[in-house]
């Protein structure tokens, strides 16, 4: 299994009415990537040198889109550590440090917390709560949070208590057949969602325009407000932890 190469593509939608992302964190691909956590796909052979080149191309694409990316060093013994989005939810006012539902990923959090503490006030999800950023879709001042095998109700409750102090709401979304909420739904533009309706309950999204994914058993892309990382083999579905310049130290 390899990560697809990426090139920027411009959307035909009006951009979201949100601040442009200007800064972000990423992490070098781990040499142990082949041992990553898997649930819904079978384990395949990894071409690690190719994965590293493609990850570098991904970062270069983000930088070409105007995002200043801080690349954290490799964690050799943490196979999933390049997927930094799962370890934190970064809002304009605060960073919520996640507690991953996979035990092997819990050690990833410490270095991410140290890095984010330089630019945000941080609050932690604590046991017995679990929360992964791949389950969190922000639409305006609402965070839609997937009720998945990686994110439990206690994690959602703790997140809601943290973000409500800053005027945000949290809405739980039932999932079926996929790892994270953003495997099943993402947003290319304000008020618009791309969804795989087989994997989520659409009721919480009834007030959005819904574009249904035409291919069964396929995830949807993770999108930024103004560009889509994509390739002939399909979109890269992971992104770094990013935030807006307007509140950055």
pLDDT in tens, 112-134: 999 999 999 999 999 999 999 99
Query: Pick from 224, 155, 153, 145: which is nearest to 182 by CA?
Result: 145
Round the average pLDDT of the chain to a whole number and report it. Answer: 83
Distance CA 40, CA 150 (A): 13
Distance CA 157, CA 144 (A): 12
238 CB neighbour count, 10 Å cutoff = 18
* Residues counted in the chain: 249
What's the CATH code, domain 9-247?
Answer: 3.75.10.10
Secondary structure letter of residue 195 according to DSSP: E
pLDDT > 60? residue 4:
no
Q: Could you tell me if 208 and 191 are in contact, meaning their C-beta atoms sit under 8 angstroms apart?
A: yes
Tens of pLDDT, residues 131-166: 999 999 999 999 999 999 999 999 999 999 999 999
Distance CA 143, CA 163 (A): 9
Residue of 246 and 69 predicted with greater confidence? 69
Tens of pLDDT, residues 69-99: 999 999 999 999 999 999 999 999 999 999 9
């Amino acid at each position: 299994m390899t990560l697809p190469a990426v090139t920027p593509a411009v959307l035909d939608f009006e951009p979201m009415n949100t601040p442009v992302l200007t800064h972000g964190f990423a992490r070098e691909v781990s040499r142990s990537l082949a041992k990553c956590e898997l649930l819904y796909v079978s384990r395949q052979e990894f071409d690690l040198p190719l994965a590293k080149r493609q990850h570098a191309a991904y970062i270069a694409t983000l930088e070409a889109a105007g995002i200043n990316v801080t690349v954290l060093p490799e964690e050799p013994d943490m196979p999933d550590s390049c997927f930094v989005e799962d370890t934190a939810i970064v809002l304009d006012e605060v960073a919520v440090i996640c507690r991953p539902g996979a035990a092997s990923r819990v050690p990833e959090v410490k270095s991410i917390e140290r890095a984010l503490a330089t630019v945000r006030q941080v609050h932690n999800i604590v046991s017995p709560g679990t929360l992964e950023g791949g389950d969190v879709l922000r639409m305006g001042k609402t965070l839609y949070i997937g009720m998945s095998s990686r994110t439990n109700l206690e994690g959602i409750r703790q997140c809601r208590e943290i973000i409500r102090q800053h005027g945000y709401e949290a809405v739980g979304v039932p999932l079926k057949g996929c790892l994270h909420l953003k495997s099943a739904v993402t947003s290319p533009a304000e008020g618009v969602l791309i969804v795989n309706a087989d994997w989520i309950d659409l009721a919480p999204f009834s007030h959005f325009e819904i574009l249904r994914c035409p291919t069964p058993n396929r995830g949807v892309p993770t999108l930024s407000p103004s560009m889509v990382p994509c390739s002939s083999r399909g979109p890269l579905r992971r992104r770094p932890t990013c935030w807006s310049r307007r509140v950055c130290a």
